[in-house]
A and B are shown apart, each in its own frame.
Chain A
Amino acid sequence: MLSNNSLIIIIFLIGILQYFMKMIPLVFLKEKIKNKFLSSFLYYIPYAVLTAMVIPGVFNSTSSVFSAIIGVCVIIILGLMNQGLLVISLSATAAVFITEKILHIF
């Protein structure tokens, strides 16, 4: 478990890191990135990293693999229906909650 002090240090350092990532190009660069490979890499990286962050970890994120699978199905279906973030995350939470209540009955 992360200590409160480490958490504050992490938030602080990330704040600084983010500021410099945004500020340096804005203040110093006038040229566009012309390298096609580099700009393609930067284009794909958020999708790759967001996926890797969730899969397979999500299947251990609730108290049973079964309820997590139900949750992921809800996320995928609503995502394909172009629903917003709030709708998707709350629906998935509700689906997991209901599934776990049902599992308790048996």
Chain B
Amino acid sequence: MNSSSALYKRGFKDGLPIAFGYLPLALAIGIAAISAGLKFGNSIFMSLTMYSGTAQAAILNLISGGETIVFTYLLTFFIVNCRYILLSVSMSQKLDPKMSVLSRMAFAPFNTDEIFAVAMQQQGNLGASYLFGLATAPYIAWSLGIILGLVFSSALPPAAGSAFGITMPAMLLALVIPPSRKSKSIAIVVALAAGINILLNINPFVKNFIGAGWSMIICSVVTALAGAIMFPVNNDDSNKEVN
């Protein structure tokens, strides 16, 4: 009874709330990209290929910090987004076993935290029609929001000046604070990360020889290890809360 176009429509409808959530996020990233000094074209190129708010926020933060080593960018991206591996592993079990390799490869970039969360709430296995329907509206909203943000902030007077330095860090902290309020173990991990990174950056040896990019990577790996040792998470919980 379920034709593929009916399934596509159902997916599209389920994707609409995600799209409304993405619009302001993309708008904020568009504004932040300009304030980090990116050109219009580069920002659009980045937003269309890097379909991830946290990744873009992290990369823009490094750019405004003046980081020049390409490898630091790649490693930062990998560490911020290694949860995608986990997400995709869980998603792979939700897929219709008959879904073709080609459809799987085409759907892969659209598997974001929110798409994953909605897909996991559905009953039974999911096929290509539903999943592409689900992915359509959020991606359109994402692209639209970025472009609006870029246009909006290009129109701002440059006199707004150094206040925009805090736009990106604000977004990153805003991603961390609400989950810390809900979960005590996340709150402790966040506090630990802040404390350790302050100690690392005060240390003149770290400051002069290791650099802020690497102290950040060392600090986050150590803190996440400590979190995993102190507060192990059940597999079911981690899937539910990761978005």
> Which residues of A line the B interface, CB within 8 A?
1-2, 4, 6-15, 17-19, 21-27, 29-34, 36-37, 39-58, 61-63, 67-68, 71-72, 75-76, 78-80, 82-86, 88-94, 96-97, 100
* B205 at the A interface (CB under 8 A): no
Nearest CB in chain B to that of A94: its residue: B163
How far apart are the CA atoms of A86 and B215 in the complex, in Å?
28
Bits for B55-67, please: 1 = Cβ < 8 Å to A, else 0. 1001101011111
Known contacts A2-B68, A6-B68, then 19 further A-B pairs from the complex at CB < 8 Å, ordered by chain A residue: A10-B59, A12-B49, A13-B74, A14-B55, A17-B77, A21-B88, A26-B91, A30-B92, A37-B228, A39-B235, A41-B228, A44-B233, A45-B79, A47-B224, A48-B193, A49-B216, A76-B173, A89-B32, A93-B166
- Contact A97 B163, CB 8 Å, known A22-B88, A25-B89: yes
Please state if A50 and B81 are interface contacts (CB–CB under 8 Å).
Answer: no
CB-CB under 8 A from A49, the residues of chain B are 58, 76, 79-80, 193, 216-217, 220, 224
8 A–B contacts from the bound complex (CB under 8 Å): A7-B42, A11-B50, A13-B73, A19-B109, A26-B91, A45-B220, A48-B192, A89-B31
- C-alpha gap A33/B89 in the complex (Å): 7
Whole-angstrom distance between the Cβ of B211 and the nearest chain A Cβ: 12
Bound-state Cα–Cα, A85 to B89, Å: 28
